[in-house]
Amino acid sequence: AEKVTSLGKDWHRPCLRCEKCNKTLTSGGHAEHDGKPYCNHPCYAALFGPKGGCLWWGHGGDCWCTET
């Protein structure tokens, strides 16, 4: 099996998966939290990203924001 290195260790390519959604990840193309891999979006952002903030800037400068 092909080997990839990520998070300081070697993985079989199909074993490097997001801890939340189980999506196969690429070396260097993902986020890490407590030594575990996560896909950048949506899993890492939803679990560990900032709470609240702008979701979309509409025409005319309108901002739709979430609550904290």
Could you state, in order of their start, the residue ranges of all structural domains in the chain? 3-48
**Res. 58 pLDDT band, cuts 50 70 90:** very low
Per residue in 9-56, pLDDT (tens digit) is: 999 999 999 999 999 998 888 999 999 999 988 899 889 887 655 544
Query: Cβ(39)–Cβ(59) under 8 Å?
Result: no
* Exposure letters 41-65 (e unless 16+ CB within 10 A, then b): eebbeeeeeeeeeeeeeeeeeeeee
Query: Pick the residue with more confidence: 66 or 19?
Result: 19
Say which CATH topology domain 3-48 has.
Cysteine Rich Protein (2.10.110)
Give the helix/strand (H/E) hosting 4.
strand 3-6
- Compute the radius of gyration of the chain from its Cα atoms: 16
